[in-house]
């Protein structure tokens, strides 16, 4: 039965401490999907170094993310959990695919365009190329499904294009993956500016909830969420702050936004905020406790990521060898 399961690949980069957006947009779905699929979840450390990282923080966050995966309910016995840089095939495949990718398609990536506005000429080449590395991650495992937040949709479309191009240039090699994007949690917004995505690289900490934020901090940040002067709980684009709170509640509780709105008839934003804060705390507190336990057990974590890398290397190398052979590189 194992062999007939479809394949999932996804990852998170350790470029900052993880937010509620990462949790609801990605991890919570992985937990739901893990029984139906053969899953590969990596800590995408090679993606994190597209911007300068303090080596100590990078090491800490890499292990922390692995602990978050496990503490959120991803079973390390059933799924392959690994650290991206432990599987050199990702970097090698990335070069091979770079050679059949176009500057034009990479330049059209909105994340790159946004970042180049910020950095100008001194934007790192890694930020330009990174969607190819992400394509390699996915294609090496012949993933059928890639559960991500909506901000990664364009990168996934590029991975499909790159995979299809390789298949057409040589012969069918890769499965062409589909994105799996959650409904309410596709894009959790910044609490201070609900027109922007909640992001771990944001400067104002009041805009995001971290998975590791203490209870009191979560209460404070949610109570300070920017809303509007309408004063009625509606699920509307004209009330992006309130809409975001409803989305958070909907995704945690598994209740539709419409039903949530019904529950707040005649009530105001303070009741909604209170409930959202308590829902987040109920969801994250047990996870935080487990994360702290795991982080004090480095041998256990090492065991997981070593076993994971072994399996991932086996699968990824098989695909890499196929790619090399088809391109015309002499087998080693």
The verdict on 25 binding ligand TYM (CB under 6 A) reads yes
Count the Cβ atoms, other than its own, within 10 Å of residue 200.
18
What is the closest distance, in whole angstroms, from the C-beta atom of residue 35 to ligand TYM in the complex?
A: 20
Active-site annotation holds for 200: yes
Place of tokens 């949709």: 153
List the one residue from 53, 152, 184, 319 that touches ligand TYM (CB under 6 A): 152
In order, the DSSP letters of 250-275 are HHHHT--HHHHHHHTTT--HHHHHHH
The smaller minimum CB distance to ligand TYM, of residues 11 and 194, is found at: 11
The smaller minimum CB distance to ligand TYM, of residues 232 and 311, is found at: 311
- Comparing CA positions, the residue from 110, 279, 295 lying closest to residue 209 is 279
The verdict on 146 binding ligand TYM (CB under 6 A) reads yes
Contact at 8 Å (CB) between 123 and 115?
Answer: yes
For residue 9, what are its two tokens?
């690949």
Q: Which residues pair with 82 in a beta bridge?
A: 42
Choose, from 6, 28, 113, 115, the residue flagged as catalytic.
115
Place of tokens 């922390």: 64
What is the closest distance, in whole angstroms, from the C-beta atom of residue 279 to ligand TYM in the complex?
A: 16
Burial class (CB in 10 A: 0-12, 13-18, 19+), 128: middle
The verdict on 12 binding ligand TYM (CB under 6 A) reads yes
What is the closest distance, in whole angstroms, from the C-beta atom of residue 90 to ligand TYM in the complex?
A: 9
Collapsing DSSP states into helix, strand and coil, what is residue 206?
helix
Active-site annotation holds for 78: no
The verdict on 44 binding ligand TYM (CB under 6 A) reads yes
d(CA 158, CA 139): 11
List the one residue from 83, 87, 185, 276 that touches ligand TYM (CB under 6 A): 185
Choose, from 200, 221, 243, 273, the residue flagged as catalytic.
200
Q: Which residue is nearest to ligand TYM (CB)?
A: 25
The verdict on 209 binding ligand TYM (CB under 6 A) reads no
Q: Beta strands 145-147 and 37-43: pairing type?
A: unpaired
What's the number of CA atoms in the CB half-sphere (13 Å) around residue 272? 30
Residues 6+ apart with CB under 8 A from 48: 13, 14, 15, 58, 61
Contact at 8 Å (CB) between 59 and 294?
Answer: no
Q: Is 197 annotated as a binding residue?
A: yes
The verdict on 243 binding ligand TYM (CB under 6 A) reads no
Choose, from 78, 187, 196, 197, the residue flagged as catalytic.
197
The verdict on 138 binding ligand TYM (CB under 6 A) reads yes
Annotated binding site for L-tryptophan: 137
Annotated binding site: 13-15, 21-22, 137, 149-151, 188, 197-201
Catalytic positions: 115, 197, 200
Q: Would you tell me which residues interact with ligand TYM (CB under 6 A)?
A: 9-13, 21-22, 25-26, 44, 47, 134, 137-138, 146, 148-149, 151-152, 185, 187-188, 197-198
């Amino acid at each position: 039965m194992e062999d007939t399961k479809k394949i999932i690949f996804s990852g998170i980069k350790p470029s900052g401490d993880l937010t509620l957006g990462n949790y609801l947009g990605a991890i919570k779905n992985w937990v739901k999907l893990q029984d139906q699929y053969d899953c590969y979840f990596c800590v995408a450390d090679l993606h994190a170094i597209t911007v300068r990282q303090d080596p100590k923080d990078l090491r800490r966050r890499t292990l922390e993310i692995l602990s978050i995966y496990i503490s959120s309910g991803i079973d390390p016995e059933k799924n392959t959990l690994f650290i991206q840089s432990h599987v050199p095939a990702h970097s090698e495949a990335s070069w091979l695919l770079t050679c059949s990718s176009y500057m034009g398609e990479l330049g059209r990536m909105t994340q790159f365009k946004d970042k180049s506005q910020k950095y100008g000429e001194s934007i790192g080449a890694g930020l330009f190329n990174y969607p190819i590395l992400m394509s390699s991650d996915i294609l090496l495992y012949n993933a059928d499904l890639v559960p991500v937040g909506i901000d990664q949709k364009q990168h996934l479309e590029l991975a499909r294009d790159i995979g299809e191009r390789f298949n057409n240039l040589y012969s069918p090699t890769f499965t062409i993956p589909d994105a799996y994007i959650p409904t309410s949690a596709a894009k959790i917004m910044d609490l201070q500016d609900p027109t922007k995505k909640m992001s771990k690289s944001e400067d104002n900490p009041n805009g995001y909830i971290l998975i590791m934020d203490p209870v009191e901090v979560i209460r404070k940040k949610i109570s300070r969420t920017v809303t509007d002067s309408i004063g009625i709980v509606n699920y509307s684009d004209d009330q992006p702050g309130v809409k975001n709170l409803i989305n958070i509640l909907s995704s945690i509780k598994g209740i539709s936004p419409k039903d949530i709105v019904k529950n707040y008839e005649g009530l105001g934003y303070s009741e909604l905020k209170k409930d959202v804060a308590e829902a987040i705390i109920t969801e994250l507190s047990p996870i935080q406790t487990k994360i702290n336990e795991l982080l004090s057990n480095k041998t256990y974590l090492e065991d997981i990521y070593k076993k994971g890398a072994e399996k991932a290397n086996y699968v990824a190398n098989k695909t890499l060898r196929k790619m090399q052979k088809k391109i015309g590189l002499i087998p080693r």
